[in-house]
Structure 1
Amino acid sequence: MRKIFLAISISALIAACTIDRSEFPSLEVGQDFTDSNVRVLVLDSFTVKLSTFKFDSINTSSSERLLVGSYKDEYFGEVKSAAFFELTRSTTESTTNIYDLPEDAELDSIALILGYDRYFYNDTTSVSQINVHLIQEDVEPEDDIFYNTSTLKFDSVPLTTRNYFPEPFDEDSLHISIPFEFGRNIFDLLQGNDINDTDELREVLKGFSLQPGSLDNGAVIGFSRGSENTYLRFFYSVPEEFEDDEQSFDLVINPFPEFPIAFNSITSMIDSTDLEGLIDQEIEISSTESDNLAYIQSGTGYAVKVEFPSIKDIFDVPGSGTLLKATLRIKPLRTSYNDFTTLRDSLVVSFLDRNNLAGAQLENSNGRVFGRLIGENEEFLDVTYEIPVDRYIDFKLNEIREGDDALVLFLNEFNSTINRVVLQGEENRDFKASLELTYAIYDDE
């Protein structure tokens, strides 16, 4: 199973091949090009090949967000995310036994509180459903990581179900009542000191899986993993002489676990779409074979490979030259985004090897390189992504042995969102993906 990883080998080569303008003749202020033998050319006839592929898996256990929800997407099919997590007693309270409860305490109610973290994708005006299921096996990854493709066994019948209108900006949290009898069983065991540590708690409560409704077509909602925002709260009273003193204690997602104890399982049902055949990371589909479109989606692993097969045609230009600037321009498909499926303002640009394994992020003299949205209309009606690829193109022009490397485009928070973007390919009638080079010829004798 291949995973997204970081490498520095290609970036080290590019650093060694950065543009050296020390031998490039400089022009004095006021000097006319006609007074020198320098010609500056702007060329944009190079082939840009865009392909879509899918990473085999993405580490979602490192995310600080729980993603729950489902919606139907025109390009990616049914997109669904379910959350899995283990609970333990908060260690912030200073007690000898962190599960201590007064002997005369009486349980009043129990609730799962999910704190909104203000992330959502798609339509929050539709009713969503959360089904709370009990996990049937320990939340322990086989190889120290949970991925978007991971899952755990859970009870088929939910412990409880909550229908709600998501309000990630208007409300702090979502309150889900837990059946009293289930809560009282755990409460009694804690109170009777039958549960004294996390291992003993696991025997009774291995954790929860939050599953969206099978018919949901609304939004994927982000909830915080933070112990101050998301917790299973037991409300109890201690009888007093004049009135009951209501108190509570919480079970939380451990913020400092020895191994991952929470993750998101993210899937997309892509039957009968252009992406149906992408079942292995080394398989890719050219935009020319997918309606001149290329696809990126976080969470599920879709990314865009970029190649420049004709870049060395620039050597057909007579004379010695120096690359001054290289800009890749790609336009998002106008009909693919709206107020629900919003357009993201940047793309991450990294190296990609021959097996479609991602490496280090592309850098230039200003730091890490991103694709930035360029356009005057604030509502993104006519915009393009512009990507400075000077160093990569310079590397390709100066490589001794031609390699099979490429660039890969994906979105920020690739492991903790389901954001997506649809890009127009190299033969799109509206706007062709293009590479523009500014090239200086200073010896054409």
Structure 2
Amino acid sequence: MIRTIPKPKKSKRHFLWLLGMKLMISSLLIFFFMSSCTKEGTISLNNTNDNIGAEIADSITVRTATYQLDPLPANGKGIMLVGEMTDEATGNLKASSYFRIGNSAISSVTLPDDAVFDSISLALPYQGYYYGDTSLTQSFTLHQVTEEIKLIDESNAWEEDEKPVFGSGSTLFTNNTFRYDTNPLGAISFKPKPTSKTDTVFVKLNQMFGEDLWTKVKSGSNQVTNSEEFLEYIKGFVLIPSGKTPALTAFPTDSILMNIYYSYTRTADGKKVQENLQMKVDDTTHQFNSLQIDRSQSLLSALKPDAEGELSSDQTKQQVMLQGLSGLVTKIQFPYLHEFVNRNDVIINKAELTIETPPSSHTPYTAPSTLNIMLADEHGVPKSLLTASYETTTQAAYLVNDLSGGTRNSTYTFNLTEYVSNYRGAMEDTKSSLYLTIPVSDLLTKADRLLIAKSDDSLPIKLRILYTKY
């Protein structure tokens, strides 16, 4: 006979204890998963914790190209850029600057009866920015513009859905030009001292031009006293680089002066006195920097400088480029990121984008100290700027130079945690992209460039993701 031993009955207290343990374990698991999603600084990409199953994915496919934006808006930026730079990678860039001189200083001036004209010159104090080799001589010529410098109305400048994040108001673009007299009013050759706060470049102007202007000023002609008639008389000027000098030099628009020097005999003591009238740029909105770009002998020979287009890194010897003023940016896409992020067993902890650049590519044009990323829509239009993850400020990546004697690549690093996490549950859109660029505040006023090249079979642009697999 088999005897059955009855199971002991569990007490109500024992049941409540088990229920409490289950609830506590569930709460801990939920807390752990939530922490993994939101606290991006708790785990470094250089260290993993085996206890929580953290892993690093550093082989996410990154598709890169050198992308040409439409010509950039160029007026009213406060900086006159003049010079030329030649680069095997990006080609030849020549910058000229158009501007208008106002009549406020001469519209109601009273001159001594015996005042006589001496000379006229253009004074160009340095702004501080330069790019390239300033140890060589630079040469400029100044020309008189023969047609009205007219802004392009905002409604004609962009279609509403094509307006970039840096576009606003009526404008002039970097590819705009205006007719000018080919006979120069003046010329200058000099060795630039762009960081000097006291030196000024003086361009002596044509004596006949000065005498004609002086005659109208002294007689009180409507051509100088009336603003509209003055703009008919002197429509503007353009500074053009001459010679082959691998450097750009900047001058502040609001400090440019056209000086009319004159002399007279002082009644009080009979001494001869020399003074000058200082004409300045009254309207800075009509000053702009115009570019001539020739890429025929460069790696980008197939990329037109005045229309949108791109060349993949496969077409440029595994190199990609970016450059201010010219509108070159590095286009970055992650074609398989959506699939990875939306796996059921993955939680994103942190994501970083690293960009490496070889020291050999920094001569004679130094690498930018800072980079930004623009977010482009499916039509390729940059609509916004990448912000710091889970913040509203624009994110900047700073150049970290190699400390081993210049043999390793320098790097920039962006935090893409929020950007990558936003792929979770989102509709896949492989047409959207990131544009790597110099800071947008400099994009329209500086020619800084960066060459990003593959070396030692190492990809120069990598996306590394720290994730929890459960």
TM-score, normalised to structure 2's length? 0.80
Query: Could you tell me which of 19, 24, 41 is aligned with 2:33?
Result: 24
Q: Any idea what SS the aligned residue of 2:262 has?
A: strand
On the 8 A contact 1:44/1:434 being kept in 2, the answer is yes
Q: Any idea what SS the aligned residue of 2:278 has?
A: strand
The answer to whether the aligner puts 1:154 opposite 2:180 as a matched pair is yes
Distance 2:426 2:264 in 1: 75
Paired residue type of 1:263: F
Q: 1:71 to 1:282 in 2, by over 3 A?
A: closer
Show the counterpart of 1:385.
412
Distance 2:384 2:403 in 1: 33
Q: 1:381 to 1:248 in 2, by over 3 A?
A: farther
Q: Any idea what SS the aligned residue of 1:157 has?
A: coil
After TM superposition, give the deviation of residue 123 of structure 1 in Å.
Answer: 1.0
User: What is the alpha-carbon root mean square deviation over aligned residues?
Assistant: 2.6
On the 8 A contact 1:292/1:428 being kept in 2, the answer is no
The answer to whether the aligner puts 1:433 opposite 2:466 as a matched pair is no
After TM superposition, give the deviation of residue 342 of structure 1 in Å.
Answer: 0.8
Show the counterpart of 1:130.
140
Deviation per CA, 1:62-116: give whole Å up to 9, x if none.
311101111321212221100111100346xxx9x54443443222221100111
Matches within 5 A, 1:296-375: 296-314=322-340, 319=345, 321-338=346-363, 340-363=364-387, 364-366=389-391, 367-375=393-401
Q: 1:22 to 1:402 in 2, by over 3 A?
A: farther
Q: 1:378 to 1:267 in 2, by over 3 A?
A: farther
Show the counterpart of 2:236.
207
The answer to whether the aligner puts 1:419 opposite 2:448 as a matched pair is yes
Distance 2:380 2:407 in 1: 32
On the 8 A contact 2:150/2:286 being kept in 1, the answer is yes
Q: Any idea what SS the aligned residue of 1:118 has?
A: coil
Paired residue type of 2:229: E
Show the counterpart of 2:286.
261
On the 8 A contact 1:295/1:423 being kept in 2, the answer is yes
Matches within 5 A, 1:3-402: 24=33, 26=35, 38-90=52-104, 97-143=107-153, 144-170=170-196, 171-194=198-221, 195-213=224-242, 215-226=243-254, 229-241=255-267, 242-255=270-283, 260-279=285-304, 281-314=307-340, 319=345, 321-338=346-363, 340-363=364-387, 364-366=389-391, 367-377=393-403, 382=408, 383-402=410-429
Q: Any idea what SS the aligned residue of 2:422 has?
A: helix
Distance 2:194 2:108 in 1: 32
On the 8 A contact 1:114/1:231 being kept in 2, the answer is yes
The percent of aligned pairs where both chains have the same amino acid is 22
Show the counterpart of 1:15.
none
* Structure 1 spans left out of the alignment, 5+ residues: 1-20
Paired residue type of 1:116: Y
Deviates more, 1:365-374 or 1:134-143: 365-374
On the 8 A contact 2:117/2:211 being kept in 1, the answer is yes
Distance 2:250 2:230 in 1: 27
Q: 1:375 to 1:330 in 2, by over 3 A?
A: same
Distance 1:162 1:262 in 2: 21
Deviation per CA, 1:152-175: give whole Å up to 9, x if none.
100112112111111112453101
Deviation per CA, 1:276-323: give whole Å up to 9, x if none.
22236542111122111111011111111110112134358662x321
Q: Any idea what SS the aligned residue of 1:277 has?
A: coil
Distance 1:136 1:25 in 2: 67
Q: 1:217 to 1:141 in 2, by over 3 A?
A: same
Show the counterpart of 2:39.
none
On the 8 A contact 2:342/2:425 being kept in 1, the answer is no
Answer 1 or 2: which has greater strand percent. 1
Paired residue type of 1:129: S
The answer to whether the aligner puts 1:406 opposite 2:433 as a matched pair is yes
On the 8 A contact 1:77/1:271 being kept in 2, the answer is yes
Deviation per CA, 1:13-33: give whole Å up to 9, x if none.
xxxxxxxx9772559x9xx97
Distance 1:191 1:332 in 2: 60
Q: Any idea what SS the aligned residue of 1:288 has?
A: helix
Deviant stretches of 4+, over 4 Å: 315-318, 378-381
On the 8 A contact 2:355/2:412 being kept in 1, the answer is yes
Show the counterpart of 1:13.
none
Considering only CA atoms, is the larger Rg found in Structure 1 or Structure 2?
Answer: 2
Q: Any idea what SS the aligned residue of 1:396 has?
A: coil
Q: Any idea what SS the aligned residue of 2:74 has?
A: coil
Q: 1:59 to 1:26 in 2, by over 3 A?
A: closer
Distance 1:378 1:172 in 2: 38
Paired residue type of 2:354: R
Paired residue type of 2:62: V
Q: Any idea what SS the aligned residue of 2:357 has?
A: coil
Deviation per CA, 1:170-219: give whole Å up to 9, x if none.
45310111122211110110110112122222232211110111x32331
On the 8 A contact 1:350/1:358 being kept in 2, the answer is yes
* Structure 2 spans left out of the alignment, 5+ residues: 1-29, 37-41, 43-47, 154-169
Show the counterpart of 1:17.
none
Q: 1:62 to 1:378 in 2, by over 3 A?
A: farther
Show the counterpart of 1:12.
none
